[in-house]
Amino acid sequence: MQFGVSTFLWTSPFTTDSFDLVYKIKEMGFDIIEVPVEKKDFVDWTKLKEVVKDCGLKVTISGAFGADRDISSENPAIRKQGLDYIIDCIKIAAEMGSPIFGGPVYSAVGKTRFISEEQKKKERTWCVENLRKAAKVAEDYGIVVGVEPLNRFESDMVNTADQALSLVQAVDSSNVKIALDTFHCNIEEKDIPTTIRKIGKDMLCHVQGNESDRGTPGTGNLDWIGIREALYDIDYQGAVVIETFGAVSEEIAKATCIWRPLANSSDELAQEGLAFYKKLFAS
């Protein structure tokens, strides 16, 4: 198993000026740096590729879906912006050697409303149409798009693995699969190991192994042994990545409802989280 950490733990947005984080993440012993694309022009991707290669790290690319990147929006212009953003991220993933581009690609984070079934169907139709377009680009670039379910407080569209499976089946592309975040699963799933087995090896493309309170892995109430055994049972070959938030921006704080520090420091969370991962998966 290979282990990674998102730059969200230290900074938002990640920019070319943040490249010192690459060396820190390598020195801590991680295999992978996960880079969220908040704005593509904030990062010199060619230079970043050189830096991570020199450090011997791998890269995974994740998305940041604000209200202006919503492929299920009522507004056609916003739907187009969302699709353009996903396509840009797929191309960045290919450039950086990331096998996946993951996130809540279907909607905007923090979009939570009580709407009619008719409206839900309209938004799902727009979402599927755009994901099919994105899937064709992903196929051309050899990238898998990971659909990540979010908890009910962050999205009203895809909260559970079953909903994600239904959406992925509607898109009907081998380049669109499921990315799981155990923090969200802990809120929405009855049993996380059962959920992992249901999704299976062929459909599970990425795991963000986050604690029940989004703090340090191993310090909360998750069934980590059960999660480990389920990943082994399906012969999961992807990464396990810490994605939580340190110095959050106002937009991220509102979207994720993080109002307090999640650990004594970002470095401590990363180091102790990685030590926990290594001990857990060495068993």
Question: Helix, strand or coil for residue 136?
Answer: helix
Domain assignment of residue 205, given as a range: 2-282
The one catalytic residue among 123, 154, 189, 243: 243
pLDDT tens over the chain, length 283 residues: 999 999 999 999 999 999 999 999 999 999 999 999 999 999 999 999 999 999 999 999 999 999 999 999 999 999 999 999 999 999 999 999 999 999 999 999 999 999 999 999 999 999 999 999 999 999 999 999 999 999 999 999 999 999 999 999 999 999 999 999 999 999 999 999 999 999 999 999 999 999 999 999 999 999 999 999 999 999 999 999 999 987 656 667 666 767 677 778 999 999 999 999 999 999 7
Please list the residues that pair with 244 across neighbouring strands.
none
**Minimal CA–CA distance to 207: which of 226, 179, 234?**
179
The CATH number linked to 135 is: 3.20.20.150
Active site residue 148: yes
Contact 52, 22 (CB under 8 A): yes
Structure tokens belonging to residue 219? 């310090």
Q: Is 113 exposed, middle or buried (0-12, 13-18, 19+ CB in 10 A)?
A: exposed
The one catalytic residue among 34, 38, 123, 148: 148
Contact 101, 146 (CB under 8 A): yes
Number of compact structural domains in the chain: 1
